[in-house]
A and B are shown apart, each in its own frame.
Chain A
Amino acid sequence: MRKIILYSMLVLGSIIFSLPFAWLVLTTFKGADELTGGSLIPKLPYKVISSPYIGYMAYPEIEKPPKLSNERWKNLEAGLKNEIWNLTFDAMGREKFKNDYSYLFEDEAKLKKEIIKGIWQELIVKLPESTWKETDEVISASLEKSINAKIADRVFKQIFKSFTLKSAVLEDKDLNVIKAKPVDGWKTGEDSKIIESIQGAIVIYDFEKNKSPKEIYADFIMPSSDFKALGRFMLSFESDTSFHELFFEIKTSTGTYVTKNPVIMDAQKDTAVSLCLGEPGRLEPGDTIMHKINSSDAMPDGLIKVKVILEKNPYYAAIYSKFTKSYRDAMKPLSKNITIINFTYNSVFLAIVNIIGQLLSCSLIAYAFARIKWPGRDICFVILLSTMMLPAQVTMIPLFVIFSKIGWYDTLMPLWVPSFFGQAFFIFLLRQFFMTIPKELDDAAKIDGCGHFGIYWRILLPQMKPALATVVIFAFMSSWNNFIGPLIYLSSLDLYPLALGLSFFRDTQGSFWGLLMAASTLMILPIIIIFFFAQKYFIQGTTLTGMKG
Chain B
Amino acid sequence: MKKIITAIVFIISGLIILYFFNYLSVSHTKLEKGEKFVLRVWEQTDALTSAGTKALVAKFEKDHPDIKIDMVFVGQMLNEQKFMCAVAGNIEPDVIFIARDYIAGWAARGAFLPLDELIEKDKEPYAVKKEDYYESAWKECSFENKVYGVATTMGAQALFYNKDILIQEGFVDSKGNAKPPKNWNELVEYGLKLTRKDEQGRITRLGFLPFSWSIKIYDLTLYGWQAGGDFLSEDGKICTMDSPEMVYSLEWLTKLVDAYGGMQKVLAFFESNASLGDLFLQDKVAMVNYNTWVVRRIGRFKPEFNFGITAMPPGPTGKTVTGGGGFAYSIPKKTKHVNEAWEYVKWMTSPKAEVLRAKVEKKYQKSEGGDHVLIMRGNMKANEAVIKEYPPDNENVKTALKDFLGILHYTKSKPVTVVSSKLAEEQGKAVEAAFLHSMVPKEALKLASFRVQQELDKSYQKESFPLVNWLYPVLVIIFALIIFIVFNCIRFMKAKQKGLAKPGVIKESMMGYLFVSPWIIGFVCFILAPVLISFVLSLCQYDVIHPARFVGFKNYIDLIKHDPVFFKSLYNTFFMVLGVPFNMAIGLLVALLLNSKVKGIAVYRTLFYLPAVVPVVAASVLWLWIFTPEVGLLDKMLVPILNFIGITATPKWLGSEVWSKPSIIIMGAWGAGAGMIIWLAGLKGIPEQLYEAAEIDGAGKFSKFFHITLPMLTPYIFFNLVIGIITVSQIFTEAYIMTKGGPADSTLFYVFYLFNNAFVYFKMGYASAMAWLLFIIVFILTLINTRFSKKWVYYEAEQK
Q: How far is the CA of A421 from the CA of B674 in the complex (A)?
A: 28
Contacts of B624 in A (CB 8 A): 506
Q: Point out the residue from A18, A335, A356, A517 that lies within 8 Å of B625, measured CB to CB.
A: A517
Q: Interface residues of B, CB < 8 Å — how many?
A: 124
Give chain B nearest CB distance to A194 CB in angstroms. 22
Using known A-B contacts A17-B607, A516-B625, A543-B681, determine if residue A395 contacts B774 with beta carbons closer than 8 Å: no
Residues A422 and B519 in contact, CB atoms below 8 Å apart: yes
Give chain B nearest CB distance to A84 CB in angstroms. 27
Per-position 1/0 for A505-523, Cβ under 8 A of B: 1111000010011011001
Give chain B nearest CB distance to A200 CB in angstroms. 13
Q: Identify the closest chain A residue to B19 (Cβ).
A: A349
Taking A394-B775, A397-B758, A483-B736 as known contacts, 16 extra A-B pairs with beta carbons closer than 8 A to each other, sorted by chain A number, are A18-B607, A18-B610, A174-B62, A175-B59, A369-B516, A393-B774, A412-B20, A481-B616, A483-B733, A491-B82, A523-B615, A524-B614, A527-B613, A528-B613, A538-B613, A548-B613
Give chain B nearest CB distance to A530 CB in angstroms. 9
Q: Point out the residue from A176, A411, A493, A520 that lies within 8 Å of B618, measured CB to CB.
A: A520
Contacts of B347 in A (CB 8 A): none
| A390 CB within 8 Å of chain B | yes
| B474 CB within 8 Å of chain A | no
Residues B534 and A548 in contact, CB atoms below 8 Å apart: no
Residues B677 and A372 in contact, CB atoms below 8 Å apart: no
Contacts of A40 in B (CB 8 A): 636
Residues A6 and B593 in contact, CB atoms below 8 Å apart: yes
Residues A410 and B89 in contact, CB atoms below 8 Å apart: yes
Pairs across A and B, CB under 8 Å, 18 listed:
A19-B633, A27-B625, A367-B515, A373-B508, A374-B509, A380-B520, A390-B531, A390-B775, A391-B729, A397-B767, A400-B758, A477-B613, A492-B28, A503-B737, A524-B615, A535-B606, A542-B674, A546-B674
Q: How far is the CA of A523 from the CA of B623 in the complex (A)?
A: 15
Per-position 1/0 for B4-41, Cβ under 8 A of A: 00000000010011001000100010001000000000
Contacts of B78 in A (CB 8 A): 507
| A35 CB within 8 Å of chain B | yes
Q: How far is the CA of A397 from the CA of B755 in the complex (A)?
A: 9
Q: Identify the closest chain B residue to A26 (Cβ).
A: B633
Contacts of B518 in A (CB 8 A): 361, 364-365, 420-422
Per-position 1/0 for A406-418, Cβ under 8 A of B: 0111111000001
Q: How far is the CA of A548 from the CA of B613 in the complex (A)?
A: 7
Residues A393 and B604 in contact, CB atoms below 8 Å apart: no
Residues B363 and A177 in contact, CB atoms below 8 Å apart: yes
Residues B617 and A481 in contact, CB atoms below 8 Å apart: yes
| B274 CB within 8 Å of chain A | no
Residues B523 and A284 in contact, CB atoms below 8 Å apart: no
Q: Identify the closest chain A residue to B485 (Cβ).
A: A376
| B214 CB within 8 Å of chain A | no
Q: Identify the closest chain A residue to B76 (Cβ).
A: A507
Contacts of B313 in A (CB 8 A): none
Contacts of B553 in A (CB 8 A): none
Using known A-B contacts A6-B598, A368-B515, determine if residue A352 contacts B616 with beta carbons closer than 8 Å: no
| A402 CB within 8 Å of chain B | yes
Q: Identify the closest chain A residue to B764 (Cβ).
A: A397
Using known A-B contacts A13-B608, A365-B518, determine if residue A394 contacts B778 with beta carbons closer than 8 Å: no
Residues A6 and B616 in contact, CB atoms below 8 Å apart: no
Residues A494 and B590 in contact, CB atoms below 8 Å apart: no
| B754 CB within 8 Å of chain A | yes
Q: Point out the residue from B363, B488, B617, B677 that lies within 8 Å of A543, measured CB to CB.
A: B677
| B759 CB within 8 Å of chain A | yes
Per-position 1/0 for B776-791, Cβ under 8 A of A: 0011001000000000
Q: Point out the residue from A27, A375, A401, A418 that lies within 8 Å of B533, measured CB to CB.
A: A401
Using known A-B contacts A356-B13, A404-B89, A516-B625, determine if residue A546 contacts B614 with beta carbons closer than 8 Å: no
Q: How far is the CA of A396 from the CA of B732 in the complex (A)?
A: 14
| B108 CB within 8 Å of chain A | no
Residues A14 and B530 in contact, CB atoms below 8 Å apart: no
Residues A409 and B86 in contact, CB atoms below 8 Å apart: yes
Using known A-B contacts A393-B771, A422-B518, A452-B511, determine if residue A23 contacts B626 with beta carbons closer than 8 Å: yes
Residues A335 and B73 in contact, CB atoms below 8 Å apart: yes
Residues B719 and A546 in contact, CB atoms below 8 Å apart: yes
Task: Rank and list the top 6 A-B pairs by shortest CB-CB distance, nearest first.
Answer: A421-B522, A409-B89, A374-B512, A368-B515, A548-B674, A398-B533
Contacts of A270 in B (CB 8 A): 369
Listed in ascending order, the chain B residues whose CB lies under 8 Å from chain A are: 13, 16-17, 20, 24, 28, 32, 54-55, 58-59, 62, 72-73, 75, 77-78, 82, 85-86, 88-91, 356, 359-360, 363, 367, 369, 484, 487-489, 491-492, 505, 508-509, 511-513, 515-516, 518-523, 525-527, 529-531, 533-534, 537, 544, 590, 593-594, 596, 598, 604, 606-618, 621-626, 628, 631, 633, 636-637, 670-671, 673-675, 677-678, 681, 719-720, 723, 726, 729-730, 732-733, 736-737, 751, 754-755, 758-759, 764, 767-768, 770-772, 774-775, 778-779, 782
Give chain B nearest CB distance to A336 CB in angstroms. 9
Q: Point out the residue from B75, B491, B633, B771 that lies within 8 Å of A508, measured CB to CB.
A: B75
Residues B367 and A391 in contact, CB atoms below 8 Å apart: no
Using known A-B contacts A401-B544, A407-B89, A488-B85, determine if residue A13 contacts B590 with beta carbons closer than 8 Å: yes
Listed in ascending order, the chain A residues whose CB lies under 8 Å from chain B are: 3, 6-7, 9-10, 13-14, 17-21, 23-24, 27, 35-36, 38, 40, 169, 174-177, 234, 236, 270, 272, 281-282, 284, 335, 349, 352-353, 356, 361, 364-365, 367-369, 372-377, 379-380, 383-384, 387, 389-402, 404-405, 407-412, 418, 420-422, 427, 451-452, 456, 477, 480-481, 483-484, 487-488, 491-494, 498-499, 502-503, 505-508, 513, 516-517, 519-520, 523-524, 527-528, 531-532, 535, 538-539, 542-543, 546-549
Q: How far is the CA of A375 from the CA of B508 in the complex (A)?
A: 10
Give chain A nearest CB distance to B619 CB in angstroms. 8
Residues B625 and A394 in contact, CB atoms below 8 Å apart: no
Contacts of A407 in B (CB 8 A): 89-90
Residues B537 and A398 in contact, CB atoms below 8 Å apart: yes
Give chain B nearest CB distance to A465 CB in angstroms. 12
Q: How far is the CA of A405 from the CA of B91 in the complex (A)?
A: 11
Residues A421 and B525 in contact, CB atoms below 8 Å apart: yes
Contacts of B729 in A (CB 8 A): 391
Residues A546 and B519 in contact, CB atoms below 8 Å apart: no
Using known A-B contacts A272-B367, A523-B615, A524-B614, determine if residue A421 contacts B521 with beta carbons closer than 8 Å: yes
Q: Point out the residue from B513, B519, B737 that lies within 8 Å of A427, measured CB to CB.
A: B519
Q: Identify the closest chain B residue to A23 (Cβ).
A: B633
Q: How far is the CA of A257 from the CA of B291 in the complex (A)?
A: 47
Q: Identify the closest chain A residue to B532 (Cβ).
A: A398
Residues B16 and A352 in contact, CB atoms below 8 Å apart: yes
Q: How far is the CA of A32 from the CA of B126 in the complex (A)?
A: 46
Give chain A nearest CB distance to B638 CB in angstroms. 12
Using known A-B contacts A40-B636, A387-B523, determine if residue A175 contacts B58 with beta carbons closer than 8 Å: yes
Q: Point out the residue from B491, B596, B671, B681 that lies within 8 Å of A375, measured CB to CB.
A: B491
Contacts of B363 in A (CB 8 A): 169, 177
Contacts of A20 in B (CB 8 A): 611, 622-623, 626, 633, 670
Give chain B nearest CB distance to A50 CB in angstroms. 29
Q: Point out the residue from A379, A399, A539 that lies within 8 Å of B677, measured CB to CB.
A: A539
Q: Point out the residue from B85, B492, B623, B671 that lies within 8 Å of A404, measured CB to CB.
A: B85
Give chain A nearest CB distance to B143 CB in angstroms. 26
Contacts of A23 in B (CB 8 A): 622, 625-626, 633
Q: Point out the residue from B360, B618, B719 that lies within 8 Å of A175, measured CB to CB.
A: B360
Residues B58 and A282 in contact, CB atoms below 8 Å apart: yes
Residues A542 and B533 in contact, CB atoms below 8 Å apart: no
Q: How far is the CA of A189 from the CA of B489 in the complex (A)?
A: 95
Using known A-B contacts A36-B631, A177-B363, A488-B85, determine if residue A17 contacts B636 with beta carbons closer than 8 Å: no
Residues B618 and A395 in contact, CB atoms below 8 Å apart: no
Residues A399 and B526 in contact, CB atoms below 8 Å apart: yes
Residues B72 and A493 in contact, CB atoms below 8 Å apart: yes
Give chain A nearest CB distance to B782 CB in angstroms. 8
Q: Point out the residue from A236, A272, A367, A372 that lies within 8 Å of B508, measured CB to CB.
A: A372
Using known A-B contacts A409-B86, A422-B518, determine if residue A402 contacts B530 with beta carbons closer than 8 Å: yes
